[in-house]
Amino acid sequence: MSNWFCSLVFFCFAIAALDALKSQSENNWDLVRDNVHRRIKDKDPVSHSETVGSYGSAPNCSGIGPYITGWYKDPCPCHCGSGKTTSRRYCVWYEEDDKIDGGCVEKRTNDEKAKHPCTGALTAQRDCFHGPCLINTVIQQTADIQDANTNSDFYYTAITKGGDVCDVGVLDLPNYDDRERRNIDVYPLSMPCDVCMKSPTEVFDKINVTIVDGSDGWMATWIVVEVNNIKQTYYNNRWVDSYDGKNYGPQETFDHYYK
Ligand SMILES: [Ca+2]
Ligand SMILES: [Ca+2]
């Protein structure tokens, strides 16, 4: 057998052996990556921000580069309405560690501010929507005192604890004299409202009432606003009137006692 043939056979064997090693390394790497994903999933990845930590180890660091996982979507904070939420993903990498025999430590973080070798953002804001909140009804009673009644127009806004504002608009029943002394007015609305309410029992924090037409002041005993089938009563013992004064103003805030 000639020398050149010998060399060729040896060369082919060497290539095949290297390929086998490379393939095994890639398989190992897939295994490592699967394990990382399983461990991250087990740890409820979206409800916390994780600084650099060590998790498990790999047989060796060769061929394992830093990588970024897919996005883990955190839940929408809104029971109804639309809001913002943060999605996170992890940078995962490996570092040689002398304390582990021939080994390599897995590190990961989903904290934007932590030092890590990956490029690309680890957090992202995203919009989320859980269907509109629904204002079912507004009910109000005009106070039983002289001049409490009015024929002016009034604009209502409902404000959540988080500061989101729902424009309810002018409440006026057709063919009916609204806001007369002692009278209870009922406004069936079924009005969708795009504010973020965080639980099925959340009600509005306060209701603003503004006089928009005329100067005929109004005093209410109470206003009830029902949202998502939960009723809440709001109070303000001042006049809603066109002028600013000690006991009156063009916009008055109705509040509930229990917060
Ligand atoms: Ca009236
Ligand atoms: Ca009317």
Structure tokens at 56: 């498990």
Q: Which long-range contacts (CB under 8 A, 24 or more apart) does 254-258 make?
A: 254/206, 254/207, 254/208, 254/209, 254/220, 254/223, 255/206, 256/203, 256/205, 256/206, 256/232
For residue 242, the CA-to-ligand 2 centroid distance in Å is 19
Query: What structural domains does the chain harbor?
Result: 54-131 (no CATH), 133-255 (2.60.60.20)
* Residue-wise pLDDT tens digits, 164-206: 999 999 999 999 999 999 999 999 999 999 999 999 999 999 9
For residue 67, the CA-to-ligand 1 centroid distance in Å is 68
For residue 177, the CA-to-ligand 1 centroid distance in Å is 5
Residue 249 or 33, more confident = 249
Give the C-alpha separation, 113 to 120, whole Å. Answer: 12
C-beta of residue 39 within 8 angstroms of C-beta of residue 56:
yes
Per-residue confidence at 45, pLDDT binned at 50, 70, 90?
Answer: low
Give the C-alpha separation, 187 to 177, whole Å. Answer: 13
For residue 73, the CA-to-ligand 1 centroid distance in Å is 52
Going by their DSSP bridges, the two strands 91-97 and 67-68 should be labelled as antiparallel
Q: Does the pLDDT of residue 22 top 60, yes or no? A: no
* Residue-wise pLDDT tens digits, 75-106: 899 999 999 998 999 998 888 877 766 578 88
Q: How many residues does the chain have?
A: 259
Instruction: List the one residue out of 34, 74, 40, 71 whose CA is nearest residue 55.
Output: 40
- Collapse the DSSP code of 226 into the 3-class scheme (helix H, G, I; strand E, B; otherwise coil) and give the result: strand
For residue 158, the CA-to-ligand 2 centroid distance in Å is 21
Q: Does the pLDDT of residue 125 top 80, yes or no? A: yes
